[in-house]
Each structure stands twice: as structure tokens, then as C-alpha cells.
Structure 1
């Protein structure tokens, strides 16, 4: 991966809908050359997909929390991860090392909905303990920082 590939990735991270012509104009290459580079980045597994960024507050889910989760002894991790898909308020899950097994990012309308989510995690998904914190705001650092040489 060279400097131009890094420039293309930086642009795509900011605007995943940028056209090949727009990318080419910004990195001073033809649209066809840029298309070839993007196809190679996808084939190499560097670009895995494109996502929409959604304002959760606009969807009525403005209360975001980070919950450190400890599973009950004997809980099947694969089953836990599969069942998380059935809890729409959980918008991200990361398996961890250390004192807790997972960190969940949860988006709810209010505290009552969050309480319902925690109760469900404990009753149905094998959660023993949940330590949660309210997310005040996210500092937008972005993965493009990793592209600097």
C-alpha cells in the first residue's frame, strides 16, 4: 500500500460514497486507475464494506451507554453472541480480555428501556454482572489516523 492508496482510504473513510471520478480528481489519477486501486484494496481485505452513519438520537435512541459484561460461569460465548442479535438496543459488542468478558454499546430511549435491556441480558443471555456508564459524547478521532506513514 502506497501513499496514494492511503489518500484514497482517507477519502473513503470520510465519504464512502465518493465516486471514482471524485477520488481520481482528489488524488490526481484517472477514474479507471482509482477503480483498479479500490478493487485491489477490496480484494486484499483492506476495504471490507461501506456503512451509513446514523444519528441514534434522531431515531429516538439518544441515551447511549457502555456496559461491561461478565457472563455466568458455563455460559456459551457463541450462543451469547448469537443471541445479542435479538436485542436491538445493543448496537455494538466487543469481546475483551481482563475482568469483563464483553463491552456492549447500548442505545435506548430512556433509563426504563435500559433497565429492561439489562434485565433481559441477565434473564435470557447468561449475564451475571453489568457495569454501565452513560456515554456523554464521542470524540471523533477516526480510523484514518492509522493511515499516516
Structure 2
């Protein structure tokens, strides 16, 4: 789809009403972000122009934020994936920690969270030795006081729309 990546969202986190057809379109695009308007139209039983109009509307409303490649980390050599909960040391600023994550290519996703830990990280490594290095780097250079990691055995694809 050749739409520009620009969004014009009126209010941050505004709730947008989606009808059944919007949800069907989104479901198709979640499974295949490269589907053409014609491909989507065939699946939801609309014209390609109607699908294009709906997709443009949902992009401008901020429902669709962009299109991304879904990487198979194992094929890229990073088969060991861990979910790591992080608690920062007292006095460590979250923004500084977040900025520092950009320098660690093994960190492929991060979220600032509530609860016992400050952040959850998704760490993709070549093996346990590299995971150990990342853990030590986070503690030594990025203000991490404590962390807890769990190895991902397999992922389960779920449709994000009810």
C-alpha cells in the first residue's frame, strides 16, 4: 500500500469507533500488511476503492500506525528470545535508560510498566552467553538494579481485534 506514513490524529489516544467491516479489513492487514486494496476487497466483499477509503480514514485517525516487517529472529541468528523485567536503581531517570536501549541491538522491544518492575524488555540473542552479556551491560552501564528473565519457548499468534 502506497499511503504516506503521515498521520493527522486529532487527540492522542482518542477512541475510534470501528464497524464490522473496518475490523475485517484490519484483520486482513494484520495477517498480511502487504495485501493490496484489491486483495483486501475480495476478502471483505467491498470494492477496492471503498477499502482504500477506509484504510486512509483509519490511518488518519491513528488506528493504523504503519506497516512493519515481521522478522523471524531465529533466521537472523537470534534464536534465543527472553522476556526481561527490569527494576532501575534509585535515582536513575527512565528517559536516560530508554535512550540507552537504542545502543543495544539485542533489545528488540521495550515497555514502561506498572507494578513490581519498571520496564519489560524483549531480548533476542544468539545464545545464553550473549544474553548474559546483555544482562551485565544493563546492570553495569544502564542503571539496572534487578532483572528477571524468562525464555520464550514459542510465540502464539493472536488476532488483536475482538
Task: Give the TM-score taking structure 1 as reference length.
Answer: 0.94
The answer to whether residue 34 in structure 2 is matched with residue 12 in structure 1 is no
Mapping for residues 18-97 of structure 1, pairs under 5 Å: 18-97=35-114
Segments of 5+ residues of structure 1 without an aligned counterpart are none
Aligned residue number for residue 132 of structure 2: 115
Indicate the RMSD between aligned Cα atoms, in angstroms. Answer: 1.0
Secondary structure at 1:22's aligned position in 2?
helix
Mapping for residues 108-147 of structure 1, pairs under 5 Å: 108-143=125-160, 146=161
Secondary structure at 1:68's aligned position in 2?
strand
**How many residue pairs end up in the alignment?**
145
Question: Once the 2 structures are TM-superposed, how far is the Cα of residue 30 of structure 1 from its aligned partner?
Answer: 1.3
Larger helix share, 1 or 2? 1
Question: Once the 2 structures are TM-superposed, how far is the Cα of residue 2 of structure 1 from its aligned partner?
Answer: 1.4
Describe the shift of the 1:26–1:142 C-alpha distance in structure 2 as closer, same or farther (beyond 3 A): closer
The answer to whether residue 118 in structure 2 is matched with residue 104 in structure 1 is no
4+ residue runs over 4 A deviation: none
Task: Give the TM-score taking structure 2 as reference length.
Answer: 0.86
Structure-2 separation of matches of 1:142 and 1:91: 21
Question: Once the 2 structures are TM-superposed, how far is the Cα of residue 99 of structure 1 from its aligned partner?
Answer: 0.9
Question: Once the 2 structures are TM-superposed, how far is the Cα of residue 133 of structure 1 from its aligned partner?
Answer: 1.2
